[in-house]
Amino acid sequence: MVSSDPPPPGKPPLPWRTRLLMGAVSILHSASLRPDGTANRFLLSLFDRTVPPSLAPDVAGVSSSDHTVSEHLRVRLFFPAAAEGGSQLPVVVYFHGGGFVFHSVATAQFDALCRRLASSIPAVVASVDYRLAPEHRCPAAYDDGEAALRWALAGAGGALPSHPAAVFVAGDSAGGNIAHHVAARLQRSVAGLVLLQPFFGGEAPTASEQRLRDAPFGAPERLAWLWRAFLPPGATRDHEAANVPAAIRRGGDWRAFPPTLVCVGGWDVHQDRQREYADALRAAGAEETTVVEFPDAIHAFYVFEDHADSTRVLGDVAEFVNRRAAEHLKNARSASE
């Protein structure tokens, strides 16, 4: 059951390690955003811990490798142990979060998240190193995402052990925004869409944006800076890239939009827009839109492995991907008969 009840007063329940890491990341992000609209990449590079791909399987049996899609675009592929047996696994094209400005596929937290997704589903995860704002504004990230999705659909340059059983698009926060727009460009090619706390916006503040302005990553000044850095010059947050629910309501054929899972956190400033997005898709006739609520979750809870809901969300994603992959294969067989 979907619940939009506000969280209780006080602070979100967090393990102390999560609280310390969250505070450090928040301070780093704020310090790197300059008043002139540029980002201090050198400062970010000092503290954004990165890891290389690893051909040797980790303790969960997941290996990884980097692949070049174009001159400016690379994808990191994560292979679960199940891929070694020649199983026809789903492929999840993943877009990391970071406000369109921060992080990469090599950022340690997102590398770890993709490994966990690959193992728990199991699926081959293709993490996309899209171009970042403000150096590359909208629609650069969407263009990179479409190119990466087409690359995966075509077999990832021969890197996949077998033809993908079904291809999904997924992302968190700003990556969730990118995932939506990429799926919208190639609706009939996508078996399903997974959005972890997607980052949408609008000029009129929502109730959750006002109530949770002091919650982790919820400061309105920070959010305004990120949108200015990403959107085309002069655009407001009612631009279709940001105010996605309004864009859906304005029309278009959404009946072919892929089945969608939206994960919402009770301490996330963006929760009202996420529920509004799901409602807009349902009203527009989309096949399936499911909202899963995590009442105690802060924004980006999924990257903190000691957060209680970080493991639960993997189970919800795995159930959705496997169910929709089976349905996708069933429909494909029926169409070929």
Residue of 125, 126, 122, 127 whose CA lies nearest to 82: 122
Spell out the alpha helix ranges (H) of 97-211.
108-120, 140-153, 174-185, 207-211
Residue of 298, 301, 307 whose CA lies nearest to 267: 298
Sheet containing strand 289-298, edge to edge, reads 63-70, 73-79, 124-128, 91-95, 167-172, 192-196, 260-267, 289-298
- Listed in sequence order, the residues at least 6 apart from 260 whose beta carbon sits closer than 8 Å to its beta carbon are 192, 193, 194, 195, 278, 281, 286, 288, 289, 290
| Annotated catalytic residue within 119, 173, 208, 310 | 173
Spell out the alpha helix ranges (H) of 186-231.
207-211, 220-230
CB atoms under 10 Å from CB of 67, counted, come to: 17
| Annotated catalytic residue within 299, 307, 309, 328 | 299
Coil, strand, or helix at residue 292?
Answer: strand
Tokens of 142: 């969407």
* CA distance readout (Å), 141 to 37, 42, 132, 220, 283: 18, 21, 7, 23, 28
Tokens of 277: 């997005």
Our answer to whether residue 268 is catalytic in this structure is yes
Tokens of 231: 């959107």
Our answer to whether residue 96 is catalytic in this structure is no
Question: Catalytic residue numbers?
Answer: 173, 268, 299
